[in-house]
Structure formats: structure tokens, C-alpha cells
Structure 1
């Protein structure tokens, strides 16, 4: 059975003197299914909202109101590095092996964890970068100045140091600070959508590649956190008043797609999917499972709640961590096939100009031979069987030339035999003539 795991982070001191929960633990790795359990813990972290990123081998956690990032090794189960940056970190995310950080000064920094290369942009945001998300080819940053910038990931990682780092476009429709961003990983020009949440009580659905605002969703209270469904069919929104909303994009009256022409550009969202109790508080973070059937919410009072999206039943409390939950990140259950794995991270440096790529090889880089493919396959493949049958039905390659050579040798031997026979006949005739002459 496929297991589901997620990572949670807390920020701030313990809420009560509960001795059953360790006071110095800041990050928890949970197993959600088949049965819930806490898999591992990492100590000495206070992680604000949007400041946790998880890869297959490491956990990256920016610290509250500091210019530090703690790096933990999932393979060894301990803290691997303490990394200092020039500015305080407000948010971060991962794009492969590149850690992207947003700072309080309005700039973004990109750290190649396998080489130690650090790229920094000018402060293109007027205020702090509050959230950042990465897609296969783009980086999106939201700021307290209410603007969203779309960057090209390849241009940000350009090796030419003289390149001026500018965003491809800006999305300026909001009128207050951006609180959350969520984007899909589509590579199609028409389906590159993202959702932004703002303190102006709206969420806007964008085509971030064209810069078009597709729909504006109005809420009774300003949204704190959002999450796109894995198949980009719905949006989950947690608001300040404790309400949770599930907005379907392709319902009877679709908001997107060719059948959405009659839909209004501004949509008022009133019916809530669920609501939390006042003693729990509003959801400060939320995350959808990879099949889109389960929603996890983290709350300021320390609770992690599990919601069933399909049945819409009363939520189940998974854990109470005795501190404000600020981040929930699902770990992908699908293994990625990559030739390398970063076993150890390389600390960032702007002083160096030459870098060494450091990683662990995960696969044989030599091409696979036919013998290897036959050795690793179960039985004989259909192609090999058909080739063998065809080879039996046809004469072997080069058999015609061999027959001609044998025939030629036979002819030469027969010529020699005939010559010997003629010579023998001549000798016998001369012998008979000699005998008759003597008599």
C-alpha cells in the first residue's frame, strides 16, 4: 500500500506546560496512511508561515525574524547545516535542487544546494516578499506591496553575471498585501494558472504566462492560506474568520474553460465548506493530499485537523503540537527518477567564480546493453522471440557465399581427379604398346 507522509512546522513558544510534548522540537515528520504516526522530529526551529521546504533528502526551514536557514538531513535524521544569508528570510520554496528565498528587503535569492552558487536579484518589490512558489519554468513572488512578479527560472540561473535580473511581467490587480500563492505545474501555455490571496478579501485566478486575470473571488473575510487541487480542478481557501471554502473551477457553472464565457469576472463566494471552532482558531496553513481527497489544516492553538473533501464530515484531530502550526507540506509519494541525489548540501557563497557539482550517483550512466536488458527482464520479450523465429526460418547470413566456396573447391578437386584419370589412361596405353612391340 502506498504510504502518505507530510511535514509540519511550528513557530513560537509552547502554549502550555505539557510535558508529553518536547519543548525544543520545531519540525515533525508524520505518516498519515495507512496509520497515523510521528515518524521523526527535528529540534531547534521556529518556522514562520511559508518558510518550510522539503525535498527527498533534506528539510529547509527559515527562522522567524532572522537571516538563517536550518538544513536537516532526512537520511541521517539530524541537523546538517546552519546557513546565514545577507538579509532576513521571509519565505522560501524549492525548484529541484535550487532553494529560492524571498527577503524582507524585497529581493529573491537562489541557492544551488549542490554547488553553493548564490544568485541575488535587485529589490524589485517595494516591500517584503511574503510568499514564493516555483513551477518547472517560472518563479512567482508575492509581496506586502500587493504586486506579484513572474520570473523566468532559466534567466535567474544564467551564468553570465552581467545579466540584469528583471521579472517577465507583473500582476498588479490586488489592492493589499499578498498572503499566499499557489500554482500548478502545467507546461501548457493555456493552462498555466496560479491563485493569489490578498488582504483585500479576494483571490484572483491568473494565467501567469499571459498575465491575464481570469476570475476574481470575493470572500467575507480576507484569506490567509490557499491550495490548488493537484489536478487544478478546485481551490481550498482558509480565511481569517475560521471559515474554509472549496471553490470548484469546473462545476455546473464553470469558472474556467470554454464553457465559462457566461460566468461573471467577479464571483462572490458565500457558502463555506467548513468552519473551525473559536478555541481552535483560523487555519494558518493548509495542504491537500496528492489524490485531492484529504485536506489538512494547521491552527494557532497547535491542532492539525484532517478534513474529508468528498464526504465533508466533521474534521478529525490528528495531533496537538502545543504551539502555533505554521506550515504543512505533503511529501510526494511518487519517486522521481534522477541520475543524482544531493547527499550533502554545499553552503552558499558569492565570492567564488568556479563551482563543483557535488551529488551522489543514483544510476549507471553508461548506456544499457542488450544483455543487460535481457538479464533484467522477466523471461523473453515478444520482440526477441519474433527475431529468433525469423532467424530459424531464414538461412544464416553468409551461408550463400560459403556454399559457393565449397562448390568451387569441389570443382577444383574434380579437375584434379579427371587429370589423374587421363594421365593413368595414357600411361596404360603406352605400356600396352610397349609390350606389343616386344613380341
Structure 2
């Protein structure tokens, strides 16, 4: 069975004197399936909401109301670095090997972990950057000033850029602070979209490459956080009144697409998927598993609850971390496909003009053989199955090597038959001689 793992962070001191929980642990690595357990922990961290990034080799945690990031090595299981920044950090996300942070001054800072290069944008937000989302080609930043900026990732990382960085466009539809951002995994300009949540009690679905607001969803209470299904089929939202909403994007009455009604109309949502108890409080963070069947919510009083999307039953408490849970992030079960991996990060602050790439090859430099392809594929690849089926329908053909082997076998059998005949004649003569005596 495929193992599912997720990371969680806490912020603040312990809520009770529970000696069963270590006081100095700030980041937890959990195994969700096949059986729940705490796989590993990392110490000395206190991260606020939207401040966690998990890569294949490292964990990046921006510290609450601080100007530095703690970096932990997943391979070695320890804290690898303490990375300071010029301004206090409000949120953090990953774009491949690039750490993107949003500051309280309204600017973005991009840190290339393989080179140590640090790129900073002007303060295009007039208030703090509250949340970030990254795609292969874009970075989206939401702010307390109610605006969302769309940045081109290649332009931000351009080496010869001399001018000031500017966002490609701004999405200005909300009337209050933006509390959450999530982007679909698609890279097509026709099908990719992002979803933003705001304290104005709405979520807006955007085509962020054109700047069009595709649909506005209105909730009874201000959303605190949101999560998008890995296949971009549903939006999960947690509100201040403790209610959870799961809104399908492509349902019987779809929000988007050819079958959608008037896109300019606001869609009110009044029926929650579930609600938390008053002693638990509203979810401050949530995340959907990669198969879209399990929703995990983290709460200010330390609980991590598991919700079954398909069965819609009462939630199950997975753990109580004895401190406010601020981030939950699933680990992707899919291989990255990159030929290198960052084993040791390079701190920002290299001299201007110096650019050295520090990484490790994750595979051999020789061309991949058919055996390597079959070995690295989960199950049987489509090519191997088609080749096997085709072989059943083709008549067997004898190669030159098979013909040579068959000739050698026939020569050996001829020698064996001669030896058997000689042995038979020898036994007959022996029997005749013995009878004549």
C-alpha cells in the first residue's frame, strides 16, 4: 500500500503541562497511511500560518514575526541552517528549488537554495504579504491590502535583469485582506486558475494569466484558509464560525466550464460540509490528500482532525500537539523528475556577480537503458505491456545464434548415439564370448 506522509507545524508555547509531548518540538512528520504514526520531529521552530515549505530533501519554516528561516534536512533529520533575511517574514512557499518569502513590508524575496542568490522585489503591496502560491511559471502573492499580484517566475530569476521587478498584473476584486491562495496544477493558459479567500466572506476563482474573475463564491462567515483539490475539482474552505465547506468546481451545476450559468453572478454557499465543536475552534490550516479523499484540519488548541470526504462522517482526531497547529502540508507521492537534488543548501549573501551551482546528480550520467526504465517504473509501463502483447501474436523466429546452438546440439546427439551403438555392440560380443565358454 502506498504510504502517505504529511508535515505539521505549531506556533506558541504548550497549552498544558502534558509531559508526553516534547516541549521543544516545532515540526512533525506524520505517516497517515497505512497506519497513523509520528515518523520524525524537528526542534526549535515556531511558524505562523502559510509559513511552511517541504521539498524532497529539506523543510523550510519561517519563524513567527521574525526575519529568519529555519532549514531542516530530511535526509539527516537535523537542523541544517539558520537563514536571516533583511525584513520580517510573513509567509513562505516553494517554487522548485527556490524559496519565496513574503515580508511584512509588502515585498517578495526569492532565494535560490542551490546558488545562494537572493532576488528582492520592490514593495508593490502597501501592506504585508499574507499568502503565496507558486506554479511552474508564476508566483502569486496575496496581501492584507486586499490585492493579489501575479509575477512571472522566469522574469524574477533573470540573471541580466537591470530594472525593477514589476508584477504582470494585479487582481483587485476583494474588499478585505486576502487570507489564502491556491493554484491549479495545470500549465495551460486556458485551464489554469487560482482561488483566493478573503475576510470579505468570499472566495474568487481567477484566470490569473488574463486577470479575469471567473466566479465569486460567498460564505456566511469570513474564510480563514483554503485548500484546492490536487486535481482542481473542489475547493475546501474553513471559516471563522468553525464550519467547513467543500465546493465542487465541476459538479452537476458547475462553477466553471461550458455548463456553468452566468459567470458574473455570485454563488452563495450555505450548507457546510461539517463543523467543529466549540472546544476545538475553527481550523487555522487544512490540506487535502493527493487522492482527494482525506481532509486534514489543524486547530488553535492543538488538534489535527481527519475528515473523510467520501463518507462525510464525524471527524477523527489524529493527534493533539498541545500547541496551536498552523500548517499542514502533504508530501507528494510523485517523483520530481529532476536530474539533481539539493543535499546541502547555500545560504543567501554571495557576492554580487558570483554564481556557483551546488547540487548533486540524482541519477547516472549514462543514457537510461530499457532495464533502468523498467526498474524505475511503478508496475508495468504501457510500452512494456504493449511489447509483451505484440510478442504473443508474432511467430517465433530463429536467429543466427539459435541456429548455431541447434546445430551444436545435433552434433552432440550424434556423438551420443554413436557411443550408445558402440556400447551395445560391445555388450553383445561380451555375451557371445561368455556363452561359448
TM, length-normalised to structure 2: 0.85
Matched, 1:257 2:262: no
C-alpha deviation, 1:391, in angstroms = 7.4
Aligned partners of 2:373, 2:11: CA distance in 1, in Å?
51
* Contact 2:283–2:297, Cα closer than 8 Å, also in 1: yes
**Residues 7-156 of structure 1: matches in 2 within 5 Å?**
7-156=7-156
Alpha-carbon distance change, 372 to 73 in structure 1, aligned in 2, over 3 angstroms: closer
C-alpha deviation, 1:164, in angstroms = 2.4
* Contact 2:214–2:263, Cα closer than 8 Å, also in 1: no
Aligned partners of 2:372, 2:262: CA distance in 1, in Å?
58
Aligned partners of 1:16, 1:88: CA distance in 2, in Å?
29
Aligned partners of 1:127, 1:370: CA distance in 2, in Å?
55
CA deviation string 1:344-397 (max 9, x = no partner): 000011533122111111112233468988999999x779998x95976xxxxx
Aligned partners of 1:376, 1:233: CA distance in 2, in Å?
30
* Contact 1:253–1:263, Cα closer than 8 Å, also in 2: no
Aligned partners of 1:240, 1:141: CA distance in 2, in Å?
22
Indicate the SS of the match to 1:154.
Answer: helix
C-alpha deviation, 1:341, in angstroms = 1.0
| Matched residues, number | 393
* Contact 1:214–1:265, Cα closer than 8 Å, also in 2: no
**Residues 141-290 of structure 1: matches in 2 within 5 Å?**
141-262=141-262, 265-290=265-290
Aligned partners of 1:261, 1:16: CA distance in 2, in Å?
51
Aligned partners of 1:236, 1:340: CA distance in 2, in Å?
34
Indicate the SS of the match to 1:94.
Answer: strand
CA deviation string 1:77-115 (max 9, x = no partner): 000000000000100100110000100010001000001
Aligned partners of 1:194, 1:369: CA distance in 2, in Å?
40
C-alpha deviation, 1:166, in angstroms = 0.5
Deviates more, 1:185-194 or 1:320-329: 185-194
Alpha-carbon distance change, 366 to 15 in structure 1, aligned in 2, over 3 angstroms: same
Aligned partners of 2:374, 2:361: CA distance in 1, in Å?
24
CA deviation string 1:312-369 (max 9, x = no partner): 0000000000000000000011222221111000001153312211111111223346
Alpha-carbon distance change, 301 to 163 in structure 1, aligned in 2, over 3 angstroms: same
C-alpha deviation, 1:147, in angstroms = 0.2
* Contact 1:243–1:275, Cα closer than 8 Å, also in 2: yes
* Contact 2:185–2:232, Cα closer than 8 Å, also in 1: no
Alpha-carbon distance change, 217 to 370 in structure 1, aligned in 2, over 3 angstroms: closer
Aligned partners of 1:154, 1:373: CA distance in 2, in Å?
31
Q: Which runs of 5+ in 2 are unaligned?
A: 401-437
Q: CA RMSD in A?
A: 2.5
TM, length-normalised to structure 1: 0.85
Deviates more, 1:169-178 or 1:343-352: 343-352
* Contact 1:254–1:263, Cα closer than 8 Å, also in 2: no
Aligned partners of 1:266, 1:374: CA distance in 2, in Å?
50
Indicate the SS of the match to 1:116.
Answer: coil
1:421 is matched with none
Indicate the SS of the match to 1:206.
Answer: strand
Matched, 1:293 2:273: no
2:424 is matched with none
C-alpha deviation, 1:252, in angstroms = 1.7
Aligned partners of 1:303, 1:370: CA distance in 2, in Å?
48
* Contact 1:106–1:126, Cα closer than 8 Å, also in 2: yes
Aligned partners of 1:4, 1:96: CA distance in 2, in Å?
21
* Contact 1:9–1:27, Cα closer than 8 Å, also in 2: yes
* Contact 1:283–1:298, Cα closer than 8 Å, also in 2: yes
Aligned partners of 2:17, 2:374: CA distance in 1, in Å?
63
Q: Which runs of 5+ in 1 are unaligned?
A: 393-439
* Contact 2:185–2:230, Cα closer than 8 Å, also in 1: no
1:426 is matched with none
C-alpha deviation, 1:163, in angstroms = 3.3
Indicate the SS of the match to 1:332.
Answer: coil
Structure 1 or 2, whichever has the larger Rg, is 1
Aligned partners of 2:316, 2:374: CA distance in 1, in Å?
50
Aligned partners of 2:366, 2:174: CA distance in 1, in Å?
52
* Contact 1:101–1:109, Cα closer than 8 Å, also in 2: yes
C-alpha deviation, 1:263, in angstroms = 5.9
Indicate the SS of the match to 2:155.
Answer: helix
C-alpha deviation, 1:226, in angstroms = 0.4
